[in-house]
Structure formats: structure tokens, C-alpha cells
Amino acid sequence: MITSRTWILAAILLLLAAVPPVAALLQQPFYLDLLRRVMIFAIAAISLNLILGYGGMVSFGHAAYLGIGAYAVGVLAHHGIDNGWLQWGLAIGASAVVAAAIGSISVRTSGIYFIMITLAFTQMLYYLGVSIEEYGGDDGMRLKIRSQFSGLIDLNDPTAFYYLVFGILVLFLYLTHRLVNSRFGMVLQAVRSNEARTRAIGFSPYPYRLATFIISGAMCGLAGALLANQTAFLTPEFMNWTRSGELMFMVILGGIASTAGPLLGAAALLLLEDALQGWSVLPKWVHEHWQLYLGVILVLVVLFARRGLAGLLPGRERND
Amino acid sequence: MTEPLLETRGLRKTFGALVATDGVDFDVRPGETHAVIGPNGAGKTTFIKQLSGELRPDTGRVRFAGEDVTPLSVPRRSRKGLARSFQITSIYRDFTALDNVALAVQAHAGHSFRFWNSAREDSSLRRPARQVLENVGLEKRANILAANLSHGEQRQLEIAMALATQPRLLLLDEPVAGMGKDESLRMIAFLASLKGDKTIVLVEHDMDAVFTLADRISVLVYGRIIATGTPVEIRANQEVRAAYLGEDL
């Protein structure tokens, strides 16, 4: 079914696709970098939205997979393996394995326990990153060579890298759209809506929730691999709980359990950050205390747009 | 005599010092409607939860269709054909009526690790779901969000979801609770239409419903069944009358 929302999402994607030529025309390569960053975080937020929005599991540790994905690239590169297929494959695989381990424990719980367990595991990984001197410890390490794809695509070419990220974003939007409307997705949302009823009609929620947790972790692992290539640098900060909080905020700001929400949320948060810090039209006192003004704007959005930015769009998704 | 479809032996459940279920032997014959009544606090909800699997008895067994189901979880029992409706309406409020029933159909159509095709366009789920909605008289409300249905319609939807699992036994926990007179008469008429076709355990406060629908009645007082019999026998039973302290039976 094609709704007005689908058209709006398509329009946003078209705009994103048009960024590289426009940025080149305006000689503002900075915007290419900024929007690539937005899209990478959008991919991470899309993956979090699967468990937080559709699954009703408030994970406060999603940055773990950003970190694992980034370290998969960084650690292999550190040991001289710069093959992107291997690096990204490891990013996805290791994230899935860690998600399976964390999920097998946390998914049995709910509410505050779920939040605390996901947070605790992620902090554990964070301190692991801090403690390993070989990989830079606290300071992190530089990624000397970006992931190599046997000449197929060169990530040092900003435009090529941009369109790769764009392609992955579109693919993930489509995959989640299929997934949440499939039989699997219906069970996932049913458990969120009413767990007792779901058990009573004959579903065991656990395997479905765990599978979602793993899929979500694996998706975010790929976002981590992209992020390492984006910054050409990685630190344990990628896994810090404040980063998990940012991802949650992107999902909630954009509108939970909506297709376009995570993209809108990531774009709004990162672009606002950038605008408040950098726009020369704004007075100096805004630049100096930009976090404060960002906070005020975010509070207003949460207060007045309960369904997030996606809720402000015309039309409605079937499951809103 | 045919073997009972559902049977409990020596069922006992305590919460601290409170004995909520005290050695209950209970059986349901295929095709009958067996009502469980009792004053407030008699342990009816605790009892039905042990039948559905939400609670495990401390001692005693639950047998269903010739099999000991005592250790089985709620979903496992559901897949064996034991369907339950809840005293407090339990539906998917943020889904349409049709989605609610289609989910119940889906739960009994093999595993749901199917990630690609749209469940809402799957006629093997939607067609039977529509049929069940039609059976309970909700076909015109199929695309309304469950939250926006009237209380009576939500109760009907709850029964529809139980029926959509094609159960061998329906556990109905106060199906007319909180309904107006007209609504409850319609629900009773609907449940009467299921009689004979379905085996039903009916826990109910509404005596009209109980005496209209039940083939047999068991009376639960302080966790014990003090009498089981036909409506006529129960109405005449002195002990039952004493338990209800002059309430009109």
C-alpha cells in the first residue's frame, strides 16, 4: 500500500541521493561527510528501533554493537588485514554472537531489569576496550587504511563511500519494512502489545524476541564498521552508555515503531547539533552553550510531538 | 462412560498460609459445558490458572486429552487445544479486530519464523480469521482498532481469538463480566450456540449465564469443590445454599 508517508520517505531519500552532486556544485564537501554520518547513525537507529519500537524491549546498550563493529574493522586492520569483506563480515558476525549471549539472558526479563542488564553488558565491553592497551586503550586507535573491497569500491572516495552508505540505508529500511509486516514481525509486535495474550493463543515469546535481538545487533554491527571507516578512528567511547542514550534518543525523537522515524531522528539530532555549533547566523552565546539549547528543543519535541517527528507527518502507519 | 477430556486429581496450591486450591478432583466430559461457581475468594481464578498453565500446582496432576499436561507451559497447552479467555479483557488494543484473530490463527499454523511475506496479505490467515469474526458477529468491525470497540465487542473478540485457535476445550473466565443486560444476553445466546460443538469450562458469577449454559456445575468454596451436579441438583443442594448465604440461586 502506498501512503502519503511512503511518498515523504521517498522524497527524503531522493534528497539524500542528491547530496553529493549538490555539495560538489556548492563546493561544500563538508555536507557530504555530515550526511554520511547521519545515515550511518540512521542505520544504527533503525536496528535499535526493531527491538525498542517494534519489540518493546528498551535496550540501553545498543552502542555495544557500534563498538564491536568498529573494533572488528580496527583490530583486523591493526593486524594487517584490511580486506573489507572479512572486516565487515566479522563486524556482523561478532555482533550477532555477542547479541545472542546478551540476549539469551536479558530477553527473559523486562522493564527496568532489561534496561539494566543491557546497560551492564555494554559497560563491560566499554571497560574491556579501555583496558586493552594493544588497541589503544582509552585513547583508541587510528584506522590507517579504510576497508578494502578488492578494488570494487574505494572508501577513500567520499562520493563512492556516500552512495555505499546510502545503499545500505535503503536496503535496511526495506528489510525492516518486510520484517515487521511478516508473520515474524506480527508475533514480535503482539508480544509488545500483550504478552499474556500472546502466550495464551500459543506463542512462546522467547525465541522470537531473542531472534529479533540478534538481528538488531548484527545490523548495528555493520553500522559500527561503517562508522570506523567514516571517522578513520575508533575509541571505546563508541560503546559508552551516553552513545546508547543518543541512539535511543534518535529512535524516540523520530518516532518509535515507524519506518522513517529512526532516519528522521538521526537527521534531526545530528543536524541540530551541527547547526547550533556551527551556523554563523546564530549569535555567539548559542555556540557557547549549544548543548543547553539542543536540550530545550529536544524537550519541546518530546512534549509536543508524542509520536515523534514521524507522528507529525500526514497520514498514519497501520500500526501506529 | 467416555474418558474425560480434562481431568484434575488432587490439585493443591498454596500461597503462604492460604490454601487457594485444596485437593480438587474435577473432570470435564467431551462436549459438555461445565461451570465452576463459587463466592468471591473461593479460588476460582487460581484454579483456572492451573488449568491453563499460568500457575503450577504444588501437588496434583492436570490431564488433558489423555495426556499429563501438568509441566507444560501456557503456549504448549494452547497448541494442544486448550484455549482461554480472560476475566479482564485481554486483546491487542493497538491492532485491528481482524489482526487480533489472524494472530490467533497464525499461532496454530506452524512456526512464525517467516520474515518476508506480509502476514496481512496472507489469505491462509486472513480468510479463517474473517470466518471466525463472522461467526461471533463482528465481521463489520473487522478493520476497527480493538481499542475502539465497545466493551461487549471486545469480550466477543476475546472469545473469537480463543475460537480461532480451533481449541478442543474452551476455558472461559467470566465471559459476561462487566456487560450490560442486552450485551450479556447476546453473549449467552452466542455461547449457547457453541454448546455441544465445543467443550467448555465456564467460570462465571452471572447465575443466569451459568444456569442457562451449564450441563454440570461444580461449586468451589475455600479451594474445595463442595458439590458437582446438574443445575437442578445444585439448586437443591443445602450446602451450596449455605455457602451462598441466601443469595438467590
pLDDT tens figures, A231-262: 999 999 999 999 999 999 999 999 988 999 99
Say which of A178, A197, A211 has its CB closest to residue B90. A197
- Three-state DSSP state, A305: coil
**Chain B residue at shortest CA distance from A215:** B115
Instruction: Select from B69, B76, B80, B92 the residue whose CB has the most chain A CBs within 10 Å, as the one to mutate to test that interface.
Output: B92
What's the average model confidence in pLDDT over B64-88? Answer: 94
Q: How many residues does chain B have?
A: 249
Contact B112 A203 (CB under 8 A): yes
A186's CB contacts (< 8 A; 6+ apart) are B99, B102, B103, B106, B112, B119, B120
pLDDT tens figures, B179-218: 888 888 989 999 999 987 899 999 998 888 999 999 999 9
Contact B112 A178 (CB under 8 A): no
A104's CB contacts (< 8 A; 6+ apart) are A210
What's the average model confidence in pLDDT over B160-166? Answer: 95
Q: Which residue has the cell 484434575?
A: B8
- Three-state DSSP state, B27: strand
Distance from CA of B78 to the nearest CA of A (A): 5
Q: What pLDDT is stored for residue B248 in this prediction?
A: 56
Decide if the complex's ipTM is over 0.85: yes
Asked if B73 is an interface residue toward chain A (Cβ–Cβ < 8 A), one would say yes
Alpha carbons B20 and B9: distance in angstroms, whole number? 15
CB pairs under 8 A between A and B: 99
Task: Sort out which chain A residues have CB atoms less than 8 A from B120's CB and list them.
Answer: 181, 186, 318
Tell whether the model's pLDDT for residue B160 goes beyond 90. yes
Contact A181 B106 (CB under 8 A): no
Q: What pLDDT is stored for residue B145 in this prediction?
A: 96
- Contact predicate B216/B210, CB 8 Å: no
Contact B91 A194 (CB under 8 A): yes
Instruction: Select from A201, A316, A317 the residue whose CB has the most chain B CBs within 10 Å, as the one to mutate to test that interface.
Output: A201
Amino acid of residue A118: T
Task: Sort out which chain A residues have CB atoms less than 8 A from B45's CB and list them.
Answer: none
| N- to C-terminal Cα separation, chain B | 30
- In this prediction the pTM is 0.92
Q: What pLDDT is stored for residue A1 in this prediction?
A: 53
Asked if B124 is an interface residue toward chain A (Cβ–Cβ < 8 A), one would say no
B249's CB contacts (< 8 A; 6+ apart) are B207, B234, B235, B240, B241
The DSSP line for A200-238 is: HTT--HHHHHHHHHHHHHHHHHHHHHHHHHHHTEE-GGG
Domains in chain A, CATH or no CATH each: 4-312 (1.10.3470)
Task: Sort out which chain B residues have CB atoms less than 8 A from A204's CB and list them.
Answer: 73, 75-76
**Chain A residue at shortest CA distance from B49:** A200
Distance from CA of A72 to the nearest CA of B (A): 28
- Three-state DSSP state, B200: strand
Tell whether the model's pLDDT for residue B132 goes beyond 90. yes
**B residues 129-188 closer than 8 Å to A (CB):** 161-162, 164-165
Q: What pLDDT is stored for residue B146 in this prediction?
A: 96
| A47-56, A187-196, A309-318, B160-169: least confident range | A309-318
Confidence band, pLDDT 50/70/90 cuts, at residue A320: very low
Alpha carbons B159 and B100: distance in angstroms, whole number? 11
Confidence band, pLDDT 50/70/90 cuts, at residue A319: very low
Cell numbers at A20, concatenated: 553529493
Beta strand B199-203 pairing with B18-28: unpaired
The DSSP line for chain B is: -PPPSEEEEEEEEEETTEEEEEEEEEEE-TT-EEEEE--TTSSHHHHHHHHHTSS--SEEEEEETTEE-TT--HHHHHHTTEEEE-SS----TTSBHHHHHHHHHHHTSS-----SSBGGG-HHHHHHHHHHHHHHT-GGGTTSBGGGS-HHHHHHHHHHHHHHT--SEEEEE-TTTT--HHHHHHHHHHHHHHBTTBEEEEE-S-HHHHHHH-SEEEEEETTEEEEEE-HHHHHH-HHHHHHTTT---
What's the average model confidence in pLDDT over A60-89? Answer: 96
H helices within A58-151, ranges in order? 63-78, 84-106, 111-131
